[in-house]
Amino acid sequence: MPNIKSAIKRVEIAKQNRLRNKSEKSKIATFIKKFKKAIAEKDLENAETLYKTVVGLMDSAAIDNVIHKNSASRKSAHFAKILDNAKKQK
C-alpha cells in the first residue's frame, strides 16, 4: 500500500478508471452479442441499428483510450463486412 499522498490518490484514480473501462467494455460486448444474434436470426433492420450503436460505442471508447483505435477500426470493418454479407444473402 502506498504511503505518499500522491501515490494514494493515483491508486484511487486507477481504481475508478478500471471500473469505468470495464463498464464500457462490457457494454460494447453486450451490443456485439445482440448484433451477432440479430444477424443469425436474419433480422437486418435490427442488425443495422445495432451496428451503428456498436460502431459508435467503439469509436467513443477508442477516443477515451478504453480500447485501441486500430482495434475499434478493425472490429468496425469486420462487423460491416458481416452485415454486408447478410444483406447480400437476403
- Only one residue has cell 500522491, namely 6
Q: Is residue 26 predicted with pLDDT exceeding 80?
A: yes
Mean pLDDT, rounded, for 22-47? 97
Q: List the domains of the chain with CATH numbers.
A: 5-89 (1.20.58.110)
Q: Is residue 90 predicted with pLDDT exceeding 90?
A: no
Mean pLDDT estimate for the chain? 96
Summarised one tens digit per residue, pLDDT across range 39-83 is 999 999 999 999 999 999 999 999 999 999 999 999 999 999 999
Runs of H (alpha helix) within the chain: 5-40, 44-63, 69-89
Q: How far apart are CA 21 and CA 83, in angstroms?
A: 27
Q: How far is CA 49 from CA 9, 28, 43, 60, in A?
A: 41, 14, 11, 17
Mean pLDDT, rounded, for 17-44? 97
